[in-house]
Structures are given as structure tokens and as C-alpha cells.
Amino acid sequence: MPQGELFVPPQPDALRDWFRHKPKHLTRKVTTAREAIGQLVRDGDYLAVGGFGTNRIPTALLHEILRQGRTGLGMSGHTATHDFQIMAAGPCIDRVDVAYVVGLEARGLSPAARRLFEGGLLKVTEWTNAALAWRYRAAAMGVPFLPSRIMFGTDTWEYSAARAIQCPFTGMKLAALPALSPDVALIHVHEADVYGNCRIQGISVSDPDLARASRRVIISAERLVPHDEFRRDPTRTVIPHFCVDAVVEVPYGSYPGNMPYEYFSDEEHLQAWLEAERTPESLRAFLDKYILGVEDFPQYLHLCGGLPRLQKLRRLELMLDTEGRGESTERL
Amino acid sequence: MPQGELFVPPQPDALRDWFRHKPKHLTRKVTTAREAIGQLVRDGDYLAVGGFGTNRIPTALLHEILRQGRTGLGMSGHTATHDFQIMAAGPCIDRVDVAYVVGLEARGLSPAARRLFEGGLLKVTEWTNAALAWRYRAAAMGVPFLPSRIMFGTDTWEYSAARAIQCPFTGMKLAALPALSPDVALIHVHEADVYGNCRIQGISVSDPDLARASRRVIISAERLVPHDEFRRDPTRTVIPHFCVDAVVEVPYGSYPGNMPYEYFSDEEHLQAWLEAERTPESLRAFLDKYILGVEDFPQYLHLCGGLPRLQKLRRLELMLDTEGRGESTERL
Amino acid sequence: MIPRGGGRALNAYDSYNSMELMICLAARYLEDGATVVVGTGAPCAAAMLAQKLYAPGLVIMFEAGGIGPLLPTMPISVGDSRTFWKGISASSMPEIMELCQRGMVDYTFLGGAQVDMYGNINSTQIGGRQAPPKVRFPGSGGANDLASLCWRTMMIAPQDKRRFVPRLDFMTSPGYLTGPGAREAAGLPPGTGPYKVITQLAVFGFDDATKRMRTENLHPGVSAPEVQDNSGFELLWAPELPVSVPPTGDELAVLRREVDPYRYIIGRN
Amino acid sequence: MIPRGGGRALNAYDSYNSMELMICLAARYLEDGATVVVGTGAPCAAAMLAQKLYAPGLVIMFEAGGIGPLLPTMPISVGDSRTFWKGISASSMPEIMELCQRGMVDYTFLGGAQVDMYGNINSTQIGGRQAPPKVRFPGSGGANDLASLCWRTMMIAPQDKRRFVPRLDFMTSPGYLTGPGAREAAGLPPGTGPYKVITQLAVFGFDDATKRMRTENLHPGVSAPEVQDNSGFELLWAPELPVSVPPTGDELAVLRREVDPYRYIIGRN
């Protein structure tokens, strides 16, 4: 039987009570990153981050957690790359459900994240991306588990906290994945209204399920739009307001990550992070300069090149060349 | 233990083989209702219909089944109202998974459908709307069942084919719902391209899951749009082409049902149906006039008042008054 | 029309029919900021009325996927385009059912052909449990789901001995099943169950100790024996039986002018 | 650069590096109308190359949700905006994983730090199975899911004794586990498993009877002992060992000009 620790056991009835008492009416939830993190993220909480590692991530909210010095957080590693890197930099975390962490895809491995693992500073349970996606889905559906056909026969299975069950109809062996309801979800979206209704353009990754699964949900949005805009086209509402606890408007809020249709990732800055991580000292200096020593996210953007840099990343995203022509594969 | 018959038992491995061999490349699938039904619906097949009874239903496809005289069909009664009425009129069906059938919501009960039930002409298993929705979802996910918390303690449970299971994490009792993969799904959408990519405006009901769960999928679409339109905004693709076997362009294809943003339901025609059903003879005369005696769906629309009638229903849908002013609650 | 009050000259708002009375009473139970899944007909009218008068923040949902519409008129179907007219979200059946299953929905309203003393409901068939039935009804639809998963189930239903029965021909949707603890033992989520039943004669709640239906208010001019005579099972009685507060002029005005101007529902009396 | 062919004067397309060779060989396995879930890097380059040359109807998918993009450049992340650039659908992680689970995905490409003779893969850690590891890698990501659920798993990987190991430090993703029947016995979907492994030296398949890795093609200029010397486990050998057909001028032209003009991948050799 798998021997991994189940950091967040499924508790559908306790969650029902929680969700029953979330406010459902249209109340204004707009606040600052500082306030939102200050009030809704506590030491020891279990955290999950929307988007996909370096794409549509709530960077401003993550910086704020680091700046406020949260510790002892648990984290879901559903492809957590730059987001994981920020939490590992604290370190703010002491346990992690791993699907994909430490690496930044083709960019290399995070030395700081490796130090946490290789120094035995984290409790670790192994999963997969689908397992964590379906664990969110289970919580969003209000059931304690979902069956699946993954992980069998591997060490990933052995060090997970899944359970083998038998299908009552077919007799098939199935992998039961326990519902995962994070204490807090942090999700970056394209558009939100003041009540927390949200729209996403492009892939939604696991965020619709994550927003429904989590006890508390903090949204950062590229821009606030009028509430009526949601009522004009309700088909596009991806997260309804009653799932959401706080809304923070953060233009360029996914930087240095990619925000589809808005701006591409800043690969130079991501490389600078990785290089800064080589030693704890160089990382500390980097954090002091870019995160701990600044007041807010706009200051960070300024340090990284400000609007001229962001304009360049926007052209890159839209594949415009330096003259503004489309379909360019130039590197700007 | 529930004693209902499981008309379509879950067979994930057989389905995997089926789905493996569905064509995935972009091939032209546009055809006529006659061809699509002729080639893809066979006597004895198990059928599921998209939309919601009198809303966004593939009326033209259902008429064609009736016209071609299919028999022995099974049917999923996931709120099947006018769609069920058409299939019951044949009768084309001999077994049904019931969540909601026979009634037309506030409009009353279908005498013809009642005759089938009360005359013992149907095999019946009882379910609920959520049960059938999640049964589609299970098949769409590729698992043989999903757990849920519904139906316990009732006769609905007793006459279903669900099974009680115990959660391996919490010990909770759960209702396992067997995956339902219909032989054929018929779904009406707003826009499709020639390959079968589809968009829906407004509520999707269970159609995204249904399209993924079914072995064969026939789409009727209000209108064909260029393939590039899908590539321009891929976030809006609700059903991808590789789920779809045939595409039929049918303007006003949900008539006399409501098509959101397009036209409202024709309540007079729906009432005429119900009245025609009073005796088998009057029903036969009605069917002869409107369905069996016509060549195709445009002829049916013509008999029902043609474009002037549809124009009126369009104004009703958009809440325009006779002068074209908005927000009208007039009955046109 | 039931005349309201005493010797004054009657004006339009001094009288109301039982459908209007039931809708107005039901509307008062829906507090601001609550969530409710409704069907068409009287429940939808009650939710619309509540939203317009008492509970502007009431989130109205429909099982086919509509969330938070600004209902311009009464829907004809729980899946028609009115159910998401200028809505918060045009979602899906699984979205609504999963909202219910994870505990986010406070109220639902159900109807049915028969109800028993535990608030169990039959909307499936009359006649034995084995097919073919004497009369076939639509079946559960979403009713069993909503009765299983929403926190509080309400009914608006006319009451007589054919409808309030000692034993259902078919139990479609769960009330308190066989009494205290039975829902939980059967596997249903704890803390859920029938809340109020509103008929043309009275308002009923459910006794904590026995989970049996208990008369709580008599409508104006209705006597206790009349209520019992119109029930096929023995009713319990609250220690006090205050008379239901009749519809106010405001309620009737909004109900008649804005909620149901064509009297689709209130004309059915 | 490995010189191709004999005494002719070398031009640009007469030589290629091993990354180019591996990508070109991999691309040839992807037939028109197939579906493939790829990551970034060499697999994505192979899929792009196949789509441009042999398989215009190849449906390329990325685990974060991108389906059928007209890939304008190589993605940096499997979730970046290139992965659904002018795509068929910008969907979600569950959408892709459920496509795989219900059998709709033909191919996937995986990488890893270690592979064993059954095609099992380690992308989790070096050192004992108990934390803390000597070197920590990212973990499964979607690899275990794809290896469990897609019909055929391919690998493009450099080969040496550190990577081709007799025993994995950690089995992240399933190949044939311990041999014939083991996947099915463990609970994985029947008919799935590793298909080809393409290294800088050879192309490997899997022996039907033993499910062990079997050399099927030697790359130009590579000897059998060289292949065995670069494996930490004993390789099986196909009865015939045809030399891999080297990249054609067309393949190299498209790869270098259109697929990877900045040599992100093919420059890594």
C-alpha cells in the first residue's frame, strides 16, 4: 500500500459546512495583494497556485507571501515551476505534493529548490499532474475521491497516498485519488469584476476545478472589468464570484511568466533567477533587491525594465516584429 | 441492491479501442441529416440527445430517425422532453434510462409517452439528471464509474443500476454511477466547422461530456463557420473535431425548441403536438402531416409558419417588441 | 379569491388567491445572500419575488446551468434562455449539481404528485413499484439530486388526501426517509432535509425529534381540522399556530405586475 | 557533426549532429492522422517536423491544454501560449489527461534521467528511494500519466551507462514494469507501453516475448558493441539490424529553417 503522507485528507462533510458559509451575494472583494495575503494566508496553510508554472501565474501574490514571511506552508506541485521557485526561496514551505517541481522545464533545475529536497527540509509525497488535477476535480465535485488508471506499478504509486480499489461494475483495479481541497488557491486571470467573477483566455489548466475545490480563493487579475460585461456574455465566466474571497488588480501580474494574448515570458529574468540561486547568499541578495526590498509589484516591474521591457514582451507574445508586422519569429 | 437493468454497462477497455480508431485528422464531415442518420444510427442503438428537452435540441436529426423508421432504440432520459416525445411517437425506442421524460415541464404530460410506459412497452431504469450527467462524465473521463452522494434511501435508487461502495479514505458510503457511453449522441450547436469543431453559446448542459462519452457523435449546427474562426479563438471550442462523426448544417435546427440568442421556443406548436397526441390516430395524422409526409426539415419549418414565424420567435428570444425595442416582456 | 381582513371595501390587494398566497409566503423564507436552485412555476415566482423585495443578493440557479440571471420573465423551461438572461454564468448541469454536492446551495424547491409525513416525494408514478404504472410522471429529473444535496428542501404544493399520503406509490426524492437519522444512515449528507412545505391551507415544518411533518402556521380563515382533513397521514402540531401573515400590497403588486404579469402561474389557482 | 556518406564534397545537408538525427528519425514514426502529446524540446521538434513533412493531419497536444496549434516557434513551456497558437482548442489539463485515459491519444514522448531494460523511466531522483535524495529532479509531471494511458510511449534520449541502468533509482513512469503481462496485472490499460527509444547510437524497440529493449537499427557508423557498451543492461538484438536511414536534405532543411531556426534544440547536441 502506498506509503506517502496525505497532507490534506478528504473531508467532504467539513467542506460542505465551509462552503455553506462562504458569502454568496455580490459583495465588493477588491483589495491589495498585501491585504489579501495578510488576511487570507496563514502560516501552515496548504497552498495551490493556478496557471502552469511560468504561464498565467499570480506572481504578485506569491511575492507578497515571501515578503510577509509566511512559513510552514504546504504546497501542491501541479506543475509548479517559477511559483515553486518563489515559495522555495523563502523557504515558505515545508511539505509538498509533487507532480512537477524543482525544474523550470527546458530552462534547467532550480538550485534553491534542489537544496530543500536534497537537504531533507521538505516532507514529500509523490503524485502526477493528472493525479493532482483529478484530486482538485474530486473536491470540486464534492466527493472524497475519483477513480483513475494511472500510477500503477511504479515508485510514484508507492510514494503517493493513493489507494487501489476495485470497480463495483467491471471488477477492474482502479487508482482512487483522494480529493484535495487546498486552504488557499492563488489564481491569475485576464479579467475579473469587483465581486470575483473571472474570465480566462486560452488554456485554463486546472483552474476552474482549483477555484471550486479550495476553501479560500485569491484572484489576481490583469484588469478589472465592469460587472455588466460578465452579464453581457455569461458563457465566458470561468470562475463565479461565490468561489472567490479577494480580488487584486495586478497589470502584468504573471510577469516574468507568460500571459496568453498579453505578454510572453521574460526568459532573461528567469535565467537571472536561476543563476542567482547558485548559493544561498546570492539568492538572498537577489531577493533583497527584487522582492524583499521593494514595496509592491509595480516596483518589481520597474526594476525588471518597466514598461519598455513589457512592451517588448507584448510584441513577442503577439509575434510582432520590431516594425510591428505579424507572424514574426524574430527574437526581439 | 438496486434492481434496475444496466442497458449500457461500462467497458472502458473496449471504449479505448473504439476511440483509438476514431479518425483524428481534419476530414470533411459535412453531410445531410438523411445521410448522417442513415449511416450512423442503427436499429437497437442506444441514443442520447444533447441540450435540454426543449432547448438547443437536434430536432432535424430526431425527425429523420422517425422518418427512417428506426426501432428498438435505447434512450437516455437526461431531461428528454420534446426529444423524447419525438422518439416516443414512433415508437423508435424500447428501453430508457429515465431521469426526466414524459413531461414537458410546465406544459404538461405527453399522452403518447405515457401510453408507452403505462402500456408496458418500455424497459425502464430509474436515474436522476445528476446521475446521467455524471455517467456521461465517467465515460468522458475514461473510468468505469464515478462516486456520488445521491439517490440513497429512495425507490429511485432501488430501480436504478447504481451500486453502493465505501470510500477507501473516509469510509463514507457512496453511490457509484456506472459510465454511460451511448452508441450515438445527437447534439445541436450554434456553430461548427466542416471538421466538426463546435461552439455553444449559453448553458452547455451535459453536452461537452456527452460528446466525449459517445461512440458516434452527430452534430447539427445552426450554421457552418470557417475553420479559421475556431483557430482565431480556440478558447471557445466546446467540442473538438475528433469527437465528431458527422456535421449537418440546419438553420433553426432546434425548432420548436428554444435556441439561446437565436429564437425562442414555439409554445403554440408544442401545444399542438401535445393535443395531437391524445389518440394514436390523431398523433399519426399529425406526424403524417409534419414529419413523415415531408422531405426534410425546411419543409417542416415551412408548414409551421416559415420565416415569418421564425422571425417572431427571434424577436421573442431577444425580447424585442413589435417595434423592435429591447427589454420587452410583451407576448408577440 | 380569498377575501382578506374584515369589513373594508375590497380593493385589488385586499384579495388574493391561494397560489399568490403560497408564493408570497415562500418568498419570505429566502434570505439575502442565499443560493437557491428552482424549477419553473411557483418556486421560480417565489424566488423572483424574494429577489425583487427582500433579497436582492439571492443567487437563483437552474439545474440546466443558469446562474444568477436577471430574470426578465418567468422561464418556461429550467433550461430556456431566460434562465441565464444577463446571468452571472451560463454553466452546465454538472456545474450546478456539483455546487449542490459540495454544499454551496442553501435552498431548493420541489413539487410532486405525492408527499408523505417525512417529506419524501413521489414524482415518478402512481400504481405499484413494478412497471407498468397506472400513471407515469416524469421521474426524478434533478429532484432527487437537489433533495439529496441542497441544505434545505422546500415544497409549494396543493394539499389534499390524494397528495398527502401515508405511503408513497414510489419514493422518488428523499425527505427524512423513515425518520431521525435515516438520511445519514442511508448515506445522504448530514444536516440536509425538508424544511418547509407550503400548501393552500398551512405552512408545515418538520419536528426535530421525529422528523415528521408539523403544522406551524394556518392560513387566514383555515382551521386545524380542515388541515388534518386534507392530509392522508396524521400531522403533528406546533405548540403555537400563528396565522400566516397574508400577502402585503407590495408583495401582490410586484408579483402581479413584475413577476407574473401574464398570470402563467398565479392564474393557475 | 557526423559526416554522412562517402567521398563526396560535404555540403550543409551532408552532415548532421546526433540531435538532428534523433529528431528526424522520431518524426518518421508519427503517421498522418495520429494524435501525440509532446513536451518541449526534441519531441516537440519531431512532431513539428512530422507535421510539416509527412503528417499534415498530426494532432499535436500539450498536457496543459493546447490542442492542434499551428506551432509558429518552439514552445518554451508545455503551457505557454505557443502551445495553442491558432489551435483547434485551448482546453485544460483534465481535458488532455482524459483524452489519454479514454484511449484517444496514440503517441507520447518522454524523457528521463534513467531508463531500464523494460522501458521504465526515472525522472524523480538519484539516490535511494527514501528522502532526501542525492539529486532531485522534477518528478513525474504528466509523464507517469502519459506513459500509463497513451497507446505508445516513445523516448528520445542520449544513451550511456549512467542513463541505461540495470535498476532505476526510482521508477517514475511505467514501461513494461517487470516484463510480459506486468502492466496489465498492475492495473494499467491493456495494449499500451513503450514503443521506440531513439538514442544517438541506435533505435530500440521492445521484444514481444520478453518486453525487453531490443536494438532494431544502428545509426550510420555505429557498431553493435558500441551500443552495448553504452548500456548498463544487456540489450536484445533484432535478427536484422538495418542501418538507420540518415536525415534527408528535406528533413534537415525544414528542421533547421522552420522548426528550430535559433537552434534551441538542435544546438544542444
ipTM of the complex: 0.97
Instruction: Compute the distance between CA of residue C159 and CA of residue C116 in angstroms, rounded to an integer.
Output: 11
Per-residue pLDDT, C3:
45
Which residue among B77, B119, B205 places its CB closest to the CB of C132?
A: B119
Distance from CA of A254 to the nearest CA of C (A): 25
| Residue whose C-alpha is closest to residue A212's, from C142, C85, C94 | C94
What pLDDT digit, counting tens, does each position of D164-212 carry? 999 999 999 999 999 999 999 999 999 999 999 999 999 999 999 999 9
Beta bridge partners of B76: B97
Q: Where are the beta strands (DSSP E) in chain B?
A: 46-49, 73-77, 93-98, 123-126, 145-148, 163-166, 173-178, 184-192, 198-199, 216-224, 246-249
Q: How far apart are CA B2 and CA B163, in angstroms?
A: 7
3-class secondary structure, D155:
strand
**Residues ≥6 apart with Cβ < 8 Å to A1:** A163, A164
pLDDT at A278 over 80: yes
Distance from the B15 Cα atom to the nearest Cα atom in chain D, whole angstroms: 7
Task: Measure C195 CA to nearest chain A CA, in Å.
Answer: 16
Is residue A20 pLDDT above 80, yes or no? yes
pLDDT > 70: percent of chain A? 99
| Nearest Cβ partner for A144 among B145, B163, B169 | B169
Looking at the predicted structure, is the pLDDT value of residue D10 above 80?
Answer: no
DSSP string, B226-274: -HHHHHH-GGG-SB-GGG-SEEEE-TTTTTTSBBTTTB---HHHHHHHH
Chain D interface mutation, best of B11, B231, B232, B243, highest count of D Cβ atoms under 10 Å:
B231
Interface test with C, best of A11, A13, A15, A16 (most C CBs within 10 A): A16
Please indicate whether, in this complex, the C-beta atoms of B17 and D103 are within 8 angstroms of each other: yes
H/E stretch holding D4: none
The one-letter code for the residue type at A233 is: D
- Kindly indicate the confidence band of residue A331, based on its pLDDT and cuts at 50, 70 and 90: low
Which residue among D58, D90, D103 sits closest to B15, beta carbon to beta carbon? D103
Q: How far apart are CA B212 and CA A326, in angstroms?
A: 35
> Is residue D269 pLDDT above 70, yes or no?
no
Residue linked to cell 537552434 = D263
Closest of D229, D253, D228, D224 to residue D241, by C-alpha: D224
Q: State the smallest CA–CA distance between residue C261 and chain A in angstroms.
A: 24
Q: A242–C104: do the CB atoms touch at under 8 Å?
A: yes
CB contacts, 8 Å: D34 with chain B? 24
What are the C-alpha distances in Å from C90 to residues A19, B133, C64, C80? 21, 17, 9, 11
- Residue contact D58–B25, C-beta within 8 A: yes
Average pLDDT over residues D26-53: 95
- How much of chain C exceeds pLDDT 70, in percent? 94
In 3-state terms chain D splits into helix, strand, coil percentages (rounded to 5) of 25, 20, 55
Residues C54, B64: Cα–Cα separation, whole Å: 49
Which amino acid, one-letter code, is at C83? T
pLDDT at residue A290 greater than cutoff 80? yes
Q: Is the pLDDT of residue C182 over 50?
A: yes
Are B237 and D106 an interchain contact pair (Cβ–Cβ within 8 Å)?
no
Contact list, D30 vs chain B (CB under 8 Å): none
**Active-site residue (options: C63, C98, C184, C226):** C63
d(CA A287, CA B266): 65
Closest B-chain CA to A200: B235
pLDDT, one tens digit for every residue, chain B (332 residues) = 999 999 999 999 999 999 999 999 999 999 999 999 999 999 999 999 999 999 999 999 999 999 999 999 999 999 999 999 999 999 999 999 999 999 999 899 999 999 999 999 999 999 999 999 999 999 999 999 999 999 999 999 999 999 999 999 999 999 999 999 999 999 999 999 999 999 999 999 999 999 999 999 999 999 999 999 999 999 999 999 999 999 999 999 999 999 999 999 999 999 999 999 999 999 999 999 999 999 999 999 999 999 999 999 999 999 998 887 887 877 65
> Minimal Cα–Cα distance from C239 to chain A, Å?
31
Instruction: Map A255-284 to HEC letters.
Output: CCCEECCCECCCHHHHHHHHHHCCCHHHHH
C28-35 average pLDDT score: 96
Find the Cα–Cα–Cα–Cα dihedral B226, B231, B236, B240, rounded to 10°.
Answer: 80
What's the CA gap between C146 and D219, in Å, rounded?
64
User: What number of CA atoms fall less than 13 Å from residue B146's CA on the CB side?
Assistant: 27
The whole-number average pLDDT for the span D86-105 is: 98
Are C and D neighbours with ≥3 CB pairs closer than 8 A? no
Residue of chain C whose Cα is closest to the Cα of B167: C187
Q: What does DSSP say about strands C213-218 and A163-166: parallel, antiparallel, or unpaired? A: unpaired
Out of A77, A109, A205, closest to residue D92 by CB: A205
**Quick check: B167 and A147 CB within 8 A?**
no
pLDDT greater than 80 at residue C11? no
> In angstroms, what separates the C-alpha of A39 from chain D's closest C-alpha?
30
CB atoms within 10 A of CB B161: 22
**Residue A21 C-alpha, separation from nearest chain C C-alpha, in angstroms:** 8
Q: Is the pLDDT of residue A322 over 90?
A: no
Pairing of strands D213-218, D202-206: antiparallel
Determine the Cα–Cα distance for residues A256 and A266; give it in Å rounded to an integer: 5
Q: Residue D39: phi, psi to the nearest 5? A: -100, -165
Q: State the pLDDT at residue A332.
A: 57
Cβ distance B52 to C78 less than 8 Å, yes or no, reads: yes
Nearest to A148 among B143, B163, B201 (CB): B143
State which residue of chain D sits closest to B241, comparing Cα positions.
D88
Q: Please give the positions of D annotated as active site.
A: 63
Total residue length of chain D: 269
Query: Do the Cβ atoms of A19 and C33 come within 8 Å?
Result: no
Q: Is it true that the peptide bond before A12 is cis, omega within 30 degrees of 0? A: no
Query: A77 with A98: CB under 8 angstroms?
Result: yes
A167 and B148: CB-CB below 8 Å?
no
Question: Which chain C residue is nearest to residue A23, measuring alpha carbons?
Answer: C33
pLDDT of residue B328: 80
Contacts of A202 in chain B (CB under 8 A): 234-235
- The whole-number average pLDDT for the span C164-183 is 98
How far is B175 from chain D, CA to nearest CA, in Å? 22
- Between CA C107 and CA C111, with CA C110 as vertex, the angle to 5 degrees is 160
Q: What is the pLDDT of residue C5?
A: 42
Give residue D1's pLDDT band: very low, low, confident or very high (50, 70, 90). Answer: very low
Give me the residue from A16, A18, A231 closest to C189, CB to CB.
A16
Number of residue pairs across A and D with CB atoms under 8 Å? Answer: 211
**CA nearest C62: which of C157, C141, C162, C154?**
C141
For range A215-224, the mean pLDDT: 98
* CB-CB under 8 Å, C86 with A22: no
Give whole-number Cα distances, A117 to A111, A114, D96, in Å. 10, 5, 29
Contact flag D136-A126 (C-beta cutoff 8 Å) = no
Contacting residues of A for D60, CB less than 8 Å apart: none
CB–CB contact A164 D97 (8 Å):
no
* For B164, nearest residue in chain A (alpha carbons): A168
- What would the DSSP string read from start to end of A169-224? TT--EEEEEE----SEEEEEEEEE-TT--EE--S--BTHHHHHHH-SEEEEEEEEE
Q: What is the pLDDT of residue A325?
A: 83
The whole-angstrom separation of Cα B175 and Cα A120 is: 41
Contact B57, B86 (CB under 8 A): no
Say if D and A touch: at least 3 Cβ pairs within 8 Å.
yes
Instruction: Residue D268: count other Cβ atoms within 10 Å of its Cβ.
Output: 12
Cβ-contact B40, B216 below 8 angstroms: yes
Answer yes or no: do B24 and D101 touch at CB < 8 A: no
pLDDT digits (tens, 9 = 90+) for A101-144: 999 998 999 999 999 999 999 999 999 999 999 999 999 999 99
Chains touching D (3+ CB pairs < 8 Å): A, B
HSE on the CB side for A35, CA within 13 Å?
11
**A144 to B12: CB separation less than 8 angstroms, yes or no:** no
- Half-sphere exposure of residue A314, counting CA atoms within 13 Å on the CB side? 10
- Tell me how far CA of residue D39 lies from CA of C120, D18, D50, D151, D154, in angstroms: 54, 19, 15, 16, 12
Cα distances from D177 to residues B140, D139, D208, D214, in angstroms, run: 28, 18, 14, 16
Is-catalytic flag, C63? yes
Of C56-70, D5-19, D55-69, least confident by mean pLDDT is D5-19
Q: Which residues on A lie below 8 Å from B143 (Cβ)? A: 146-149, 174
User: Any contact of B with C, at least 3 CB pairs below 8 A?
Assistant: yes
Pairing status of strand C89-90 against strand C125-126: unpaired
In chain B, which residues have their Cβ closer than 8 Å to the Cβ of A142? Answer: 149
Contacts of B156 in chain C (CB under 8 A): 124, 139-140, 144, 171-173
The reported pLDDT for the residue numbered C9 is 44
